[in-house]
């Protein structure tokens, strides 16, 4: 694929901007400045730099972000900055969107992609992708609450009960809750339904993925092979 087309596909701007980046000597492959927009490269696995920023070619953008508190998952945020403001411009140009939403005060693992079909697949309750939430509660968590969360509670917008796939106490006032669907404010409403109240909420796992050492506000590429999500061993720069 021509290098100008590679830059364009990765979100570095329209074709004229990408040709300009090359002509200005701002693009390097393997440390060598590439100035000819027509030079061909095998895109799969290609690592390159644009104005000093390392980049890895990805046919589809799929990444995880350690969402900090105080940002909204909406593209048109109302009260706080969007999570998209934490990503470099090429990802925003590619139109990545959160896979489901976390509340403004929820922290943790947020997946984002530019693949609409994948968003549908990962958020559909039919596919039962487990998500683990670490929940801090106002009141002590007791066995009766755990049993009710596992048996199913009825929320105000649907008569069908929603069940946790797993619910384990992790401290006097805390639990780890595994859900396979993603209804609006689901954890908060489920805890309210059993007479408790969520004070802190952190998503620690999404499918087989966990945050590892990814710091709040940072992101990392993710790959999907045979329905398994796996971080790519390459991290963003400052």
Positions in the binding site for ligand URA (CB under 6 A): 102-103, 106, 185-188, 201
Measured CA distances, 100 to 32, 67, 73, 108 (Å): 40, 13, 8, 13
Catalytic residue selected from 51, 103, 157, 213: 103
What's the burial of 186, exposed, middle or buried (CB within 10 Å: 0-12/13-18/19+)? middle
How many Å apart are CA 204 and CA 114, to the nearest integer?
Answer: 22
Distance, CA of 170 to chain centre: 25
The set of residues, in sequence order, having a beta carbon less than 8 Å from that of 192 and lying 6+ positions away, is 198
Q: Given the complex with ligand URA, which of 25 and 130 has the nearer CB atom? A: 130
Provide, rounded to whole angstroms, the least separation between the CB of residue 184 and ligand URA. Answer: 8
What is the closest distance, in whole angstroms, from the C-beta atom of residue 177 to ligand URA in the complex? Answer: 9
Nearer to ligand URA, 43 or 182 (CB): 182
Pick the closer one to ligand URA by CB: 73 or 222.
73
Tokens in use for 111?
A: 């997946």
* 11 vs 98 by CB, closer to ligand URA: 98
Catalytic residue check, 103? yes
Closest separation between CB of residue 223 and ligand URA, Å?
24
Residue 225's SS3 state is strand
The minimum distance between CB 108 and ligand URA, in angstroms, equals 9
Catalytic residues: 103
């Amino acid at each position: 694929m021509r290098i100008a087309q590679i830059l364009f596909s990765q979100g570095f701007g329209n074709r004229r901007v990408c040709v300009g980046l090359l002509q200005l000597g701002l693009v390097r492959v393997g440390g060598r400045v590439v100035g000819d927009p027509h030079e061909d490269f095998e895109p799969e696995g290609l690592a390159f730099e644009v104005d000093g920023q390392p980049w890895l070619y990805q046919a589809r953008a799929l990444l995880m972000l350690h969402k900090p508190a105080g940002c909204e998952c909406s593209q048109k945020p109302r009260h706080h900055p969007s999570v998209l403001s934490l990503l470099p411009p090429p990802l925003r140009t590619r139109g990545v969107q959160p896979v489901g939403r976390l509340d403004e005060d929820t922290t943790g693992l947020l997946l984002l992609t530019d693949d609409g079909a994948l968003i549908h697949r990962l958020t559909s309750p039919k596919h039962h992708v487990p998500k683990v939430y670490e929940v801090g509660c106002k009141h002590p968590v007791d066995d009766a609450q755990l049993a009710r969360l596992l048996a199913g509670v009825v929320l105000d917008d649907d008569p069908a009960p929603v069940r946790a796939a797993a619910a384990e106490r992790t401290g006097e006032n805390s639990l780890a809750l595994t859900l396979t669907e993603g209804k609006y404010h689901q954890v908060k409403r489920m805890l309210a339904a059993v007479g408790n109240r969520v004070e802190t909420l952190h998503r620690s796992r999404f499918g087989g993925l966990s945050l590892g050492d990814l710091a709040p506000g940072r992101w990392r590429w993710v790959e999907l092979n045979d329905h398994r999500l796996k971080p790519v061993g390459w991290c963003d720069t400052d």
